[in-house]
Structure 1
Amino acid sequence: MSGRSRRFRTRGLLVGSCLAAVLGAAAPGTAYAAETENLPPVVQDLQTEFKDCATGDTPAYVGRPPVLTARLTDPVEDDRVGNPEQLSAEFEIWWSDANGAEQRRSFTTGPAYPDRIHRIAVPDDIPADTVISWHVRANDGTVDSAWSSEAPGAACRFVYDDQSPAAPVVSSPEYPAETWWVGGVGVYGSFTMDSPSPDVDEYQYGFIGGPYGTVRPSELGGPATIRFVPLSNAPQRLSVQARDRSGRMSGRTDYTFYPKAASEPVSRWKLADAAGSTTAAAEAGQAARAGRGVTFGGPVPPGTPLTSTATLDGSGHGFLTTDAPAVDSGRTFAVGAWVRPAETGRAMTVLSQDTASGTAYALGLDAPEHATAAWTFALGGAKVAGGTPEAGEWAYLLGVYDTETGHAQLFVNGHEVGTEAEAAPVTADGAFQIGRIRGTNGYRQRWHGDIGDVRAYDRLVVPQEVTELAGRKPDLLGHWSFSTAADGSTPENNGGSPLRLGTGASIYRGPDNSCLPDIDPDCPWKPYPLVGEGHLALDGESGHAVLDAPVVDTGDSFTLGVVASIQDADATRPMTVLSQAGDHTDAFRLRYDPSTHAWQLIMPERDEAGAPETVVSQVTTPTGGSGQGTRLAVVYDDATDTVKLYADGYTNAGATAHLSNGWTSTGPLQVGRGGTADGWGEYLKGDVDEIQAYAGALDDDDIIGLGSETDPCLCG
């Protein structure tokens, strides 16, 4: 039986079942012809300007004369070889004009193979603000389908809107337009946008630097409000456009406002009181009574402006307290302090707020059984935990609660740790506690260690402030430029300890300008020093320089910078540029490894021969891209437990690693050699210049300045 004859089985099971399936699946906007000798094509996927067919009392609104589309298919495949069936579409639109007379137009598309989209563009002379209906039917060259508007379908409807909405008006009670210095950094404000046009269904907005977004009014044509918190007191601008239901956009409204600088803490205790004091003076808020277990005049975190701290002995008398809350914990707030735990094997509280029966919030240290200790910030029943406390190590803790987002966050040393937690605010009017927390049976989790500069804010602490609060300015320990030598040593630039030169080490000064090679052919050519007026030249056999003591505390954060150059012909074996030894191994070794064509930093995890090592490397030429050496920098950040190796001011993923516990080495700084199982080895055959050493971790911006003749500007 041919394909043609199969299509004319009008009373068989095939046609009956196809019709049942087709008619049973019909939906508004899709129509199918009744049973005929030849099954008619099918119309489906009707769209008005790429919006699904809208029927009834909810027409689609369009901002221009629309494109109407429909997909035409055939319920039975045509298997006539070489003569495939083609389908065309007839679109019809109609409306009532201003006099009530019906206007109707028809458009027919050219034939195309089945399952293709057919489209027509509605002429631009159609009336605006008028409901226009349309339907479509298909023809296979033999028979038409039913109109798509016939039952169970319905006519599609749209309204052409030729007017854009009016630009919105923006207002804010906290940040009035063109008003100088209102609100403040970290203080939320409401911004309401309202267009006079009655058909606006969305506002698109954006602040300078973000965020950007959209917001919908609760009812068509109504206003919409967003919340925003300034992160700096630079002039701010909010740009808004209204979008109506047809998709037409209004002009842009720019709203400029000027936030005040960030407000000071509502409560603050520096804890820098004189030894023997029984109270802690308040920079803001109430003075705090001190228990007998509190000693003032304690140590301070290096690189901070703190002058002293309070030491709490961990006993029932080691606490400070006020009669009232430090901050309203029922609203957005933040609390923070510098802390140094004397132990990490038990839970200890830094700051907490009493309620009638417990605690509203607590910032401290948790030490679960069989788990690693972590810093914590708890609010109500929620808790954020992260970071790794270490006994005797300073850390800056900051807990933040944002009522706008409902999230509690914890920052350690300027970095967010853990996962922000959803929390409900807890309003409290009890006492504020430093060094303990209230439990069901009295106070517990008493702090043992040092606490300094306790602060409480009634606003968000913005990212820049988080970094600044935890900032520790590195301290320059030494800078050697290798410009001169006397009595077998080369001086430190600022009068510190000199480096003693071993046999095979000398200061190279470069050309003396007594003759010019470009003019005098008999004048020998001599290269210039790596940096400045001279550099250290090492012979690769015994040449080295040594300091009489360690240059950095390798158990704490430190930075080392050096310029080094090795000629390609000499790069045949590993050679050490800088090292500092412990009792059994080097605490660090900065070397060149020709097998990987990379500068390499090796830091053993313990002061043991054969201890596991953390290794990072940077692939680059040993002479540097300009032939004037490579500017190398090593940065160990004990606060974040990371070590980085920089080459010419840059680092990468392969040159960054986790190093959880640095250890303090006691050996002197070695230049040009490192310790081996057989004694000193890996002697450097090459040149070294501009060694700079810092207590503390320099940031990326400051690393750029290392390797110059002057100390870099430390702006952090």
Structure 2
Amino acid sequence: MREVSGAGRRRTVRLGALSLATAAMLAAQGVTVAAADPVPDGLWVSGLETGSQACGAGEAKAYVRTLPPLRAVLSDPANDGRPDAPPVAAEFELWWAAGGGIERRQLTTLAKPQGSGFSWHLPEEIEIPADTVVSWHVRALSGGKVSPWSSDGSGTACEFVYDREAPGQPVVSSDDYPDNDAWTDGVGVHGTFHVDSPSDDVVFYRYNFLGGRQLTVPASGPDGAADIDHLPESPGLHVLEVQAFDRAGNGSAPVNYQFRVGSGRVPTARWKLADAAGSRTAAAEAGPTARVGAGAAFGAAAPSGTDVTSTVALDGTGHGFVTPDTPVVATDRTFSVGAWVRPAAVDGTRTVVSQDSGQGPAFTLGLRQADGKPVWSFGLGGTRLTGGAPEAGQWAHVLGRYDARTGTARLYVNGRAVGEEQPVTPVTGDGDFQIGRAQGAAGYRDRWQGEIGDVRVYDRVAVSAEVAELAARKAQLLGHWGLETAPGGISAESNGGQPLKLGPGASIRRFDEPCDPLDPDCDPGDWPLDGEGHLLLDGVSGHATTEKPVVDTGGSFSVSATVRLADQEPDRPMTVLSQGGTHGDAFKVRYRPSTSSWELVMSHADEPGAAETVVARYTEPDGGFGTGHRIAVVHDETMNQVTLYVDGYAETAGTAEFRDGWTSDGGLQVGRGRTTEGWGEYLHGAVDQVRAFSGALTAAEVAGLM
């Protein structure tokens, strides 16, 4: 029998070339079909799909876990593009072997315009058996023609298998990270996890390490197994979840494989380079003691905000070096090497660390020139990774790492990856490890001039979080003004530092006996921003200032405050924080009503009309109500960027590149900023909890302040 489906109806007709009932139904739709044999060169049949898969047979047949729609596109090339082209209908047929014979089912569709897509959504009542090869083809009916079946001539029948059975649960094992109570090495050390399945039709495995992305790996080999490589980036209990999937997309029950990851192995070699002045050797925290050249002087300065207490200064001559006179790293295996450095000169090529190999270095970490500008550099084999911008007199933490498992290298500057990870071909370097120079054909060269401290070498991958921690420079609190009192117009700094002197139009609003918020007579504008008082500014002349600069605006710094605007519709820009020089502000944070946003403005020089970098974040004005906004500005000189935080979260922060910081000599201003006419942009509102730091606060530290 043939199934015929129309709009809201289905009936059956007898099989044949075309039954009278089918011919009548098609005629009613404007489709005339000759009673003759099919026309060999008639209608085109294209776009055959079984579900979402292209038509395939044999090894290319589709496997499905739900009954798929059968699809085709039909058109008559003889009528292509004709506006009066007759409509076309599709006749589908599918079949499968059953009980020594063949079971067949058919469907003839309604007619559509030439070039239309047709589909047969197989109903459950067809009762297609599971795990059986089902074949189908289609032909077109139009304008007195019956096309050949899509399987005729050079064509082939489409095939699919209806598979509803899920694979068995996979089995996971690992020699590197066994599923037991043992703590195994470790952070930065690759491990292999072998996955197998008791089912023989698995084609891929889906997996994730708890909290990570969903990934897939194909099943391969005669046993349909797979290996998963994983680099643990944190210590603790880890979980690998795996599911097996067959060709039809059926998924097994997941299996959870637990393993324990130990902390990363300590450096195989480390020199703090904090030895006593005049020492001719460098003590090793790990690895061999190093010999020190006459051009190396201990007791040099160290980067602030770190655990480094002092460094070694190298003079850039042939005597400025430190070496253990032995190799400390296998350069054709996984390793990481880094140090704190401050170049005194950034010309030419200068080496922080290297290891000898024949008449050249196996690797170098340092700086070189690119397009006429200095860049940090990690060279390994014939590949060189570059990025960042070294500056004379500025501290930086640089680290290069090579991962032998992936065959790639990466360069980090100040805890952040720079440039792209690149594939490299390492060379074996079994010569001496060098600090401050690199081997050349005619002797050592590319000598470092400046300070180097805390050199560390690992025989594993230093993971991203670890590199960020190594390069962290904790911001140091320079001043905290709670603005609770101001006897004699002076509001003290909490640790005895510079006080803020209140100008005319500025006062401390105290809340020793705040009114009850539930009292209808309580004025919400009297609620404190923080604690028992805040600074109240009249918007005309009100401000507070320190006598001298608080932050070095030429370096990394952070300043924060809580502020509430008194007006619902401010009529002019108003500055809450600034610090500047003779002609303008090095930085200022102001509210701009025209854009309803807080702005961080960084000027490029202490000159009239100097260029400015502006970062803006949208927020509605307060109108004297609420708890105000927590504003913070962070200048990270090491990354050449500035960030404005509003209410303390990275999601509400804006960042811009900034390379032109300059050291201002004016005091910290609260409530006013420089304009072309002198002091102006006076704030009308309340300010509280002003803090200033040397160094760049992290996003988490800013959020913690708020």
- Which of 156, 167, 178 is the equivalent residue of 1:176? 178
Deviations 1:337-358 (A, max 9, x none): 1111112223211111111121
Aligned to 2:261, the other structure's residue is in SS state coil
2:289 aligned partner = 287
Q: TM-score, normalised by structure 1?
A: 0.84
Aligned to 1:704, the other structure's residue is in SS state helix
- Matched residues in 1 for 2:576 and 2:117: separation? 72
Alpha-carbon offset, residue 79 of structure 1: 11
- Matched residues in 2 for 1:675 and 1:88: separation? 79
After superposition, the CA RMSD in angstroms is 3.4
- Which of 326, 339, 342 is the equivalent residue of 1:340? 342
Map residues 114-263 of structure 1 onto 2, 5 A cutoff.
114=114, 115-119=116-120, 121=122, 125=127, 128-140=130-142, 144-161=146-163, 163-219=165-221, 221-263=223-265
One-letter amino acid matched to 1:587: A
- Matched residues in 2 for 1:467 and 1:627: separation? 37
1:692 aligned partner = 691
Aligned to 1:639, the other structure's residue is in SS state helix
- Matched residues in 1 for 2:402 and 2:559: separation? 38
- Matched residues in 2 for 1:301 and 1:651: separation? 26
- Matched residues in 2 for 1:468 and 1:591: separation? 33
- Matched residues in 2 for 1:549 and 1:79: separation? 83
Alpha-carbon offset, residue 133 of structure 1: 4.6
The structure carrying a bigger strand percent of its residues is 2
- The answer to whether the 8 Å contact 2:524/2:626 transfers is no
Tell me, which stretches of 5 or more residues in structure 1 are unaligned? 1-32, 708-716
- The answer to whether the 8 Å contact 1:570/1:685 transfers is no
- Matched residues in 2 for 1:539 and 1:150: separation? 90
- The answer to whether the 8 Å contact 2:86/2:142 transfers is no
Deviations 1:124-178 (A, max 9, x none): 6555555555555555596644444443334444445454322221111101123
One-letter amino acid matched to 1:348: R
Residue 392 of structure 2 corresponds to residue 378 of structure 1: no
2:13 aligned partner = none
Deviations 1:414-448 (A, max 9, x none): 11112222211222111111111112211111111
Aligned to 1:703, the other structure's residue is in SS state helix
2:422 aligned partner = 421
Map residues 447-466 of structure 1 onto 2, 5 A cutoff.
447-466=448-467
One-letter amino acid matched to 1:578: L
Alpha-carbon offset, residue 297 of structure 1: 1.3
Worse overlay, 495-504 or 558-567: 495-504
- Matched residues in 1 for 2:333 and 2:48: separation? 52
One-letter amino acid matched to 2:643: K
Alpha-carbon offset, residue 499 of structure 1: 2.3
- Matched residues in 2 for 1:585 and 1:83: separation? 77
Residue 411 of structure 2 corresponds to residue 396 of structure 1: no
Alpha-carbon offset, residue 302 of structure 1: 1.0
2:367 aligned partner = 365
- Matched residues in 1 for 2:158 and 2:704: separation? 69
Alpha-carbon offset, residue 321 of structure 1: 0.9
Alpha-carbon offset, residue 199 of structure 1: 2.5
- Matched residues in 2 for 1:49 and 1:652: separation? 42
- Matched residues in 2 for 1:558 and 1:404: separation? 40
Residue 649 of structure 2 corresponds to residue 647 of structure 1: no
Cα distance, 1:41–1:565 mapped onto 2, change above 3 Å: closer
- The answer to whether the 8 Å contact 1:334/1:461 transfers is yes
Cα distance, 1:572–1:110 mapped onto 2, change above 3 Å: closer
Cα distance, 1:129–1:666 mapped onto 2, change above 3 Å: closer
1:490 aligned partner = 491
- Matched residues in 1 for 2:71 and 2:520: separation? 86
- The answer to whether the 8 Å contact 1:500/1:545 transfers is yes
Map residues 210-609 of structure 1 onto 2, 5 A cutoff.
210-219=212-221, 221-368=223-370, 371-510=372-511, 512=513, 527-568=526-567, 571-609=570-608
Cα distance, 1:105–1:324 mapped onto 2, change above 3 Å: same
One-letter amino acid matched to 1:696: G
Residue 630 of structure 2 corresponds to residue 631 of structure 1: yes
- The answer to whether the 8 Å contact 1:201/1:219 transfers is no
Aligned to 1:466, the other structure's residue is in SS state helix
Deviations 1:282-329 (A, max 9, x none): 111112111111111111111111111111111111111123323222
Tell me, which stretches of 5 or more residues in structure 2 are unaligned? 1-34
Deviations 1:382-403 (A, max 9, x none): 1111111111111111112222
Cα distance, 1:573–1:168 mapped onto 2, change above 3 Å: closer
1:660 aligned partner = 659
- The answer to whether the 8 Å contact 1:507/1:535 transfers is yes
1:610 aligned partner = 609
- Matched residues in 2 for 1:510 and 1:691: separation? 18
- The answer to whether the 8 Å contact 2:310/2:453 transfers is yes
1:7 aligned partner = none
Deviations 1:562-599 (A, max 9, x none): 23344228944444433323344332233344444443
Cα distance, 1:271–1:155 mapped onto 2, change above 3 Å: same
- The answer to whether the 8 Å contact 1:42/1:74 transfers is yes
One-letter amino acid matched to 1:433: Q
Worse overlay, 658-667 or 213-222: 213-222
Aligned to 1:76, the other structure's residue is in SS state helix
- Kindly, what percent of the aligned residue pairs are identical? 50
- The answer to whether the 8 Å contact 1:550/1:666 transfers is yes
Worse overlay, 352-361 or 113-122: 113-122
Cα distance, 1:116–1:67 mapped onto 2, change above 3 Å: closer
- Matched residues in 1 for 2:469 and 2:95: separation? 67
Cα distance, 1:108–1:479 mapped onto 2, change above 3 Å: closer
Aligned to 1:687, the other structure's residue is in SS state strand
Aligned to 2:347, the other structure's residue is in SS state coil
- The answer to whether the 8 Å contact 1:182/1:260 transfers is yes
One-letter amino acid matched to 1:483: E
- Matched residues in 2 for 1:628 and 1:650: separation? 16
Worse overlay, 216-225 or 630-639: 216-225
- The answer to whether the 8 Å contact 2:38/2:148 transfers is no
